[in-house]
Every structure is written in C-alpha cells, then in structure tokens.
Amino acid sequence: MPHFTTRDDTHIRYKELGEGRPVILIHGWPLSSDSWDPVMMHMAENGIRAIAYDRRGFGRSDHAKSGYDYDTFSDDLADLIGHLDLTDGIGLAGFSMGGGEIARYMSRHGGEGVSAVALVSSVVPYMLKTDDNPDGVPQSTLDKMTEGMKNDYRHFFTGFFQDFYGDGWIKDKVTDEEKDWAWMTTMMSAKWATMKSAEAFGTTDFRPDLKSFTVPTLVIHGTDDRTVPIDATGRAVADAVPSARLVEYNGEPHAVFATQTDRLAKDLTEFFQAN
C-alpha cells in the first residue's frame, strides 16, 4: 500500500482503484479507508479513479503525536492532492468526521482543484449544541463519550457501534461480523488520536466554512442517525449552501456505507459522473 509524507513528516497510507476522474474518499471516526472499499470498487468499475487514505493516527498511517485538528487534517488532504499531482476535476467525498476535512479544505485551501463534493452522514456544519445551534449534541453527551473511552476504551466501542450501525430491538441492520470488523479496526488506531479527533469533530464549528462551498454539493444523511443528528448537520448544510442537494435515507442510521452500501455507491458514482 503506497504512502505519502505530510508537511510535518507524518506518513499517510493511501490506496487507489480504477482510472478516470479522481475522487478522494475520506473515512469516518474511528475507522479507516477500508470502510470505503465497496464504494471504491463500484466507482472503479464505472470510470472513476477512486482514492482513499487512512487519517493520521488511524488504520495503517503513522500514529503521529500531534496534528489532530482540522487545520492539520485539511493540510494532510492538500498534501495528498499535491503528492498525486491532481490539479483539477477532483471530487471529494467525506463520511462523518471526513466531511470536516472537506469543509476546512474548501476554506483553508480555497477548494483548489475541486469541482464537486459529497458529505455523507457528515458532522458539518456544527455538532455541538449551543444557544444558536439547538439541534446539536449536548456537551454532556460528548463528555460521557470521553469518560467512556478513558475508563474502558475497548468496552466503550462495543456499545458505540450499536448506535453507529442502528441496532434494533428485534433485528440489527448489519451482521455481527461487520461490527467486529469496526471494533478491530478501531483497535488499530492510537487511543490518543481517537480521543483528540473526537474532540475535534465534536467542537469544531464549520459554519464559517460553508461560504466556500461554491461547487455542486451532494448531502446524504440517514434520518435515524443517532450518532450525528440530521437536523444539526445534513439539513443545516442543505439550508445554508445554495449549491447543495440533500438526499435523505429514510430510517437509516449513521453507517449508511454498511446499511445502504449499493445505494450509496450508486448515488455517489452518478453524482461524480455528472459533476
């Protein structure tokens, strides 16, 4: 698996499938680029060069001691684009916290080379509940997550993935093996990176970045997302960004890459083929 070196000498692993227009896929917390595999395969079969990378501290990338903030994350994305010598016609798709990299890249790096973006179950524009963001997640909920990770990191994620994948009282939406993979992938990450990244996506306000979304923007979000509530995120982006089109996956949880794999792959491929 190839890698590139960021401006602060962190080694980031990435992978590619297919040829054609480049689309960079950015994974969510606390997983790795492997979560994009089915989408990458579909894109590659339909004339797209699909590229995905492991965020610093996650998957097979370096467990860097610092840089778990969105300015650095967006710089890492810019460094990948530079490493691959991509100059125009770039598509960006971000799942969950990966949407934050897109938002900050569009503002901090002027969206250089990007012609279309997709936000999937994304934390953009603002996760935290405040007086001017009443549909967000309460600080107490984020504090409980932090405490759970501190007290029993491995046990915490067993419970976390139940909501992440939308487990039900009678029937779960994904297999136990899918949740086992997510748990094992999380254990590959650095605990420090996981906790600092959670702080970043939970408290970073991307509302000022939204004015930089001047390209076609697809927003996909499950209406039953218990991890990243749709009212504070997907619907808020659709209201604020004139170029955005919202596609709601009715009754779906956060992890639509696993619960609606074929639909997601088709929707993203068709969007980037057209834009």
What digits encode the pLDDT tens for the residues 78-98?
999 999 999 999 999 999 999
Q: Exactly one of 33, 96, 197, 212 is catalytic; which is it?
A: 96
Q: Which two tokens stand for residue 141?
A: 């909920």
Q: Is 138 exposed, middle or buried (0-12, 13-18, 19+ CB in 10 A)?
A: exposed
Q: Exactly one of 27, 42, 221, 254 is catalytic; which is it?
A: 254
Residue 170: pLDDT over 80 = no
Q: Exactly one of 75, 76, 209, 225 is catalytic; which is it?
A: 225
Mean pLDDT within 159-188: 94
Question: Confidence class of residue 203 from pLDDT cuts 50, 70 and 90?
Answer: very high
Tracing tokens 């794999």 back to the chain, one arrives at: 261
Q: Which two tokens stand for residue 32?
A: 């790795």
* Confidence (pLDDT) at 78: 98
* Confidence (pLDDT) at 44: 98
Question: Confidence class of residue 19 from pLDDT cuts 50, 70 and 90?
Answer: very high
Cα distances (Å, whole numbers) of residue 212 to 27, 78, 82, 151: 21, 16, 20, 39
Instruction: Determine the structural domain holding residue 52 and report its residue range.
Output: 3-274
Mean pLDDT within 130-153: 95
* Confidence (pLDDT) at 169: 72
Angle between helix 139-151 and 153-164 (nearest 10): 140
Q: What percent of the chain has pLDDT over 90?
A: 98
Q: Is 54 a catalytic residue?
A: no
- Coil, strand or helix: which one is 82? helix
User: Residue 25: CA atoms inside 13 Å, Cβ hemisphere, count?
Assistant: 32
* Confidence (pLDDT) at 171: 82
Residues 6+ apart with CB under 8 A from 126: 133, 136, 204, 205, 206, 207, 232, 233, 236
Q: Is 176 a catalytic residue?
A: no
Residue 71: pLDDT over 80 = yes
Q: How many domains does the chain have?
A: 1
Mean pLDDT within 181-210: 97
Cβ neighbour number for residue 173 with a 10 Å cutoff: 18
Mean pLDDT computed over every residue of the chain? 97
CATH number at residue 26: 3.40.50.1820
Q: Is 96 a catalytic residue?
A: yes
* Confidence (pLDDT) at 53: 98
Question: Confidence class of residue 216 from pLDDT cuts 50, 70 and 90?
Answer: very high
CB 263, CB 42: distance < 8 Å: no
Strands (E), 109-212: 114-120
Q: How far is the C-alpha of 157 from the C-alpha of 164, rounded, in Å?
A: 10
